[in-house]
Amino acid sequence: MVFNRQRDLLDMVRNFAHFFVHESCGFCTPCRVGCSLMKDLIDKVHAGHAGQYDLDEINNIGILMRTTSHCGLGTTAANPMLDTLNKLPEIYQNRLKHSSYEPAFDLDAALQDARDITGRDDPGAHIGTES
């Protein structure tokens, strides 16, 4: 593949991650689960919500997929992620917004509707606050 300087290489990696989730036959766990995890992590990086921990996870999952998958698809599915992580780390580093873990779901915010319905907004009605 040949790209010019205007091509966002993280978009290319993301396309590969989505492709391999779709193409995995699901026979072996490293490929079936690994491809899904990789897709989710690449989407998180792409959206600007990833931290260094997520990049380390991409690397760890990719190595696991390479060494334990049953067929050629599983052993090579992580190559776009691993190769760009090793050779072009700046495409990931430029997207990192947070240096620490960021949860994918905010439970306290999800409970706001219940607080609105009950009319309760005291500290005890919030997750993580002292009552």
**Rounded-to-integer distance, Cα 36 and Cα 7, Å:** 24
81: helix, strand or coil:
helix
Domains of the chain: 9-100 (1.20.1440.230), 102-131 (no CATH)
Q: What is the CA radius of gyration of the chain?
A: 19
pLDDT in tens, 35-48: 999 999 999 999 99
Contacts of 113 (CB under 8 A, 6+ apart): none
The dihedral built from the CA positions of residue 106, 111, 116 and 120, taken in this order, carries a sign that is: negative
Pick 128 or 96 by higher pLDDT.
96
pLDDT in tens, 66-101: 999 999 999 999 999 999 999 999 999 998 875 566
Distances (CA, A) of 103 to 42, 54, 98: 15, 12, 11
- Of 1-10, 75-84, 99-108, give the lowest mean pLDDT range: 99-108
| Contact between residue 59 and residue 80 where contact means Cβ atoms under 8 Å apart | no
